[in-house]
Amino acid sequence: MTIQLNYRGQLAIAANTHSEEIEPSPGTTIADLVRAAAARHGEEFARLVLAPDGLLRSTLLIALDGDQIQNPDEVVLSESARELTFLPPIAGG
Amino acid sequence: MLSEHDRQTYAWQLDIPGFGEPAQARLKETTALISRVGGLGGPLALQLAAAGIGKLILAHGGALREDDLNRQILMSRDHIGRPRVECARETLARFKPEIEIETIPSNISPDNVAELVGRADIVFDCAPLFVERFLMNEQCVAQNKPLIDSAMFNFDGQVVPIVPGETPCLRCLYPETPEHWRRRFPVLGAVSALVANIAALEAIKLLTGVAPASLGEMILIDARTMDINRIRIARRNDCPLCRHL
């Protein structure tokens, strides 16, 4: 299974890319993917997605195939999952 | 009630199927509060004026600076050092003298937000700080006023039409104050104007019913690829502001 990860806002700058494709293992949750991305993309990316206690930041919006996910620790990626979008909060006016 | 002058001014949009005089009259009777008239709020105010909004309340503190001029298109170089809202008023009044414009030379704050939201039919949130956005969201929920939240960063933009009790509010999306957002952000004026125009369109749809507004959705603009997508967003059962609605 291949899934595309899309990064917006400050995350795209921290990751130095707007998207990447990965092949998650069966049973992977969305929170697992966020933590793996944080490990791949360095300190600034990790700071944006993870709170100091290691939990996902409540202000990080995540959409799976166009639907917001509110419980990323509990959602296991299905075979049909295609695209995850990560949206850090922005307020540029 | 439209005047003959209104019918001449808005003739081309009165031809839009499903729009017509009732929609134009609805815009004319609407008061819109715009928080800050910078890169987003400026072109947004201009588009609302173009569409025939009845009254604009513009709230923005401070004076125009040289580094505002890449995006704040209601201003010009000879305005530098003058209050932004007065520059915006001059430009808008030259464009549409018949539109009532009230200027508030300060930013949204706990001291003024309830009164300003109370006098508006719709609120546009174009502030660069979450503290202001949350104040407007809180009052819009408390007073049951629609809020169009729009924001941008770099080539990314997003617009969220909020109808209290029907859609997620801003606190549903961001339960805590984002601690990594900074006042200064990378911005091209063309991107902020693009986002502003989408926000204006969502408001016109919401006010007039000429087409469905994107309720319960966040519109995502990627000006780098020119993709516009939407994600479905959800209310929070534990939202401290809107869960009771």
What pLDDT, on the 0 to 100 scale, is given for residue B194? 98
Q: Considering the domain boundaries, does residue B239 fall inside one?
A: no
Position B9 in a domain: no
**Domain contains B69:** yes
> Which among B36, B40, B175 has CB closest to A58?
B175
Question: Residue B78 sits in which domain range?
Answer: 16-232
Does residue B73 carry a pLDDT above 90? yes
Beta carbons within 8 Å of B182's beta carbon, 6+ residues apart? none
pLDDT of the residue at B162: 98
Ranges under pLDDT 50 in chain A: none
Chain A CA closest to residue B181? A90
What would the mean pLDDT of B216-231 be, rounded to a whole number? 98
DSSP code of residue A92: B
- Full-model pTM: 0.97
Residue B59: pLDDT band (50, 70, 90) is: very high
Q: Which of B36, B180, B229 has its CB closest to that of A93?
A: B36
Residue range A22-46, pLDDT digits in tens: 999 999 999 999 999 999 999 999 9
pLDDT at residue B34 in the model: 98
* Neighbouring residues of B234: CB distance < 8 A, sequence distance ≥ 6: A68, A70, B168, B172, B216
Task: For residue range B124-160, list pLDDT tens digits in order.
Answer: 999 999 999 999 999 999 999 999 999 999 999 999 9
For the segment B182-205, what is each residue's pLDDT rounded down to a tens digit? 888 999 999 999 999 999 999 999
Q: Minimal Cα–Cα distance from A25 to chain B, Å?
A: 25
Q: How many residue pairs bridge chain A and chain B with CB atoms within 8 Å of each other?
A: 89
Closest among B142, B128, B110, B127 to B59, alpha carbons compared: B127
Evaluate whether residue B78 is within a structural domain: yes
Contact A91, B181 (CB under 8 A): yes
Average confidence (pLDDT) over B26-31: 98
Q: Which residues contact B224 (CB under 8 A, 6 or more apart)?
A: A18, B155
Measured between beta carbons, which residues in chain A are less than 8 angstroms from residue B152?
Answer: 90, 92-93
How many folded domains does chain B comprise? 1
Q: With a cut of 90, say whether residue B60 has pLDDT above it.
A: yes
If one compares B196 and B181, the residue with the highest pLDDT of the two is: B196
Q: What's residue B156's pLDDT?
A: 97
Answer yes or no: is B10 within a domain.
no
Its sign, for the CA torsion B40, B84, B169, B54, is negative
Which residues, listed in sequence order, are joined to residue A21 by a DSSP beta bridge? Answer: A4
Q: What is the mean pLDDT of residues B16-45?
A: 97
Does A9 contact B224 at a Cβ distance shorter than 8 Å? no
Nearest to B127 by CA among B221, B223, B31, B38: B38
Average pLDDT, chain B: 97
B7-25 mean pLDDT: 97
**Which among B237, B213, B231 has a CA at the least distance from the CA of B146?**
B213
Q: What is the mean pLDDT of residues B89-113?
A: 98
Does residue B6 lie in a domain region? no
How much is the pLDDT for A92? 86
For the domain that residue B216 is a member of, what is the CATH number? 3.40.50.720
Task: Examine residue B11 and state whether it is found in any structural domain, yes or no.
Answer: no
Gap between the Cα atoms of B227 and B221, Å rounded: 6
Q: Which residue of A has its CA nearest to B187?
A: A92
H/E segment holding residue B189: helix B189-208
Q: In chain A, what is the greatest distance between 2 CA atoms, to the nearest angstrom?
A: 41
CB-CB contact of B53 with B122 (8 Å): no
Return the pLDDT at A1. Answer: 86
B156 neighbourhood in chain A, CB within 8 Å? 8-9, 12, 90
User: Does B148 contact A at CB distance below 8 Å?
Assistant: no
* pLDDT tens digits along B102-116: 999 999 999 999 999
B20 within domain boundaries: yes
**Are A59 and A52 contacting, i.e. CB atoms less than 8 angstroms apart?**
no
Q: Do B7 and B13 touch, CB atoms closer than 8 A?
A: no
